[in-house]
Structure 1
Amino acid sequence: MKRRRFMRLTAGAFGLTLGQAALCIPASSDAVARRRILVCSDLHIGHSADDSGNKDGEEWFVDGLADLDASAGRIDYATVLGDIAHTGEASEYNSYLQAREQSGITEWYEIAGNHDYWGENTIDEYRELINSHLTFGFIDGNMLWLMLSDEEHSTGGEIGDATHGWVKSMIAEHKPDKNIIICSHQLVYETVRKSTDHNRYMEPLDNISDILETGAVDLWLSGHQHSMPWTREDRHYDGTTTFLNVASMTHAYDTLESQSFVLEFEQGAPIASARRRVHDKESYAQTLAVPLRVPVDLDGTSRREIIIPS
């Protein structure tokens, strides 16, 4: 598969690009020794509920970002695992972009969830305002991130044959020397809590099983399921892959906690950590260990290389 490299034009999502060179950011000594990454999901901007104080998803998002700014230290970049908008309208994405711009985090990588297809049952607004690519990847040191949006307007989600083939090719190329992290909106079947419930897991199951059978996926992050407080059953380790449900950062839509995760990768470490931040309580509830196949190597820079399927 061909790989394209992009230089960032803005401090936002990589969809705004210029040129054909990977970005090299002048890095502090801390930046080359550690990565600190925000992972959040299910903002549901544009929706509010009586049982959550009638605060819109945008307000919960802003409050969560403020809590992180006061507690987490420097965040190198953020990933958002879908359901950014509640009904897929441009106004919801514009509210998200405004909050994102004011967060102090300059680098964001998003994927689409099932709610991002709403409105006219299309993904047009998301593609225009957030990211024109539903599937992409990026390399950070010896970490390969594979970002897989919901490909169809369905609650359960899908990894189609084309995406499956691209993921397999990326794994074959990078398995020997990179830790591989996959981000999807929906859950992986028979992993974390509620992952066998109808419309909670991705299909076809054969495509997902085939990816996992490579034995090369270190961490699979997802959201989508957020109808009850988080427990350790929302994290599962099968001896090779850690599966983690990170939802949700908002109370606006059937959610009982506002939370996100801060991943930390230390140079040379054989494990990463995933710290669960409960924004309602302004505290870290758990720190989870994520075993890695390859010790972390951050390559001495803050360089990220974007990969687009072709």
Structure 2
Amino acid sequence: MNEAHASTYCRGMTLYLHDRGAHHPDSCGVRYQAEILDLDAELLAEHTASLTAWLPVKASPRQIVDLGCGTGTGTFALLARFPAAHVTAVDSSVSHLHRVREKACEAGVADRVSIVQADLNAEWPDLGEPDLVWISAALHHMADPDDTLRRVHETLAPGGLFAVVEPAGFPRFLPDDAPMGQPGLEQRCHTAIDGRNAVQLPHRGTDWGPRLTAAGFIIEGERTISVNIEHSRSEVVGRYALLSLRSMRRAAADVLSVDDLTAMDQLLDIEGPHSILGRDDLVVRTERAVWVARRM
């Protein structure tokens, strides 16, 4: 695709997404989520690259599918790792897919990315016969993840790889000795959210190894990536912490004490003296569990 054709293609795709509702009045929350995803991608870029480098490929894949692609963290990491590959990015959010297309055009790789809007809990789209399927932070959201695993097995080319990446809950941002009534604040938020997720997201924290085997895959590798960024004054870390803690406060507001809510509000008041954006002791601690399986 030459430069002129790529430019026309990008403009056409933008109009296509607008027509399908990328600017729906309820899209504010989606844009908020998209910013968190973009910040997460920026901060964890090195770790994501290490995962793509670790994949036990027998030959460089030509066709890749990124299921539940969000704003394209996996899509662009895989494009960088496999320069001859084409990635099909699949998500239910038109807004997220619009962002993927914007990024692809900005990076000059629009001809290597296709986008598919689909609800993976419903009828699956035709995704061809990819050599590699990647799903990150999405499998535990599936209504029937075992059915998802079977569908991926059916979709993959014989000998193809399936990579499952799952986060270990929300990241943590405050040091263990956080001052002003905050010791244990994050832990109490996490405990509240974990209790709710046990009902709403019962598959979070699953060991996917046995279920991949039951779906017909051969497990080729498992690993855990630990992220530990300490004492950061990075604007990216500050913004990531701010948006993530806002989300946590909303999710745990009905079970936190008045004192905890007050402490959280002081952190989230960007104009206040205790704003999280003014701290020099922020951390980012999280983990990603990874399974890689092959269709034999």
TM-score, normalisation: structure 1: 0.32
- Greater per-residue helix proportion: 2
- Greater per-residue strand proportion: 1
TM-score, normalisation: structure 2: 0.33
- Give the greater-gyration-radius structure (CA): 2
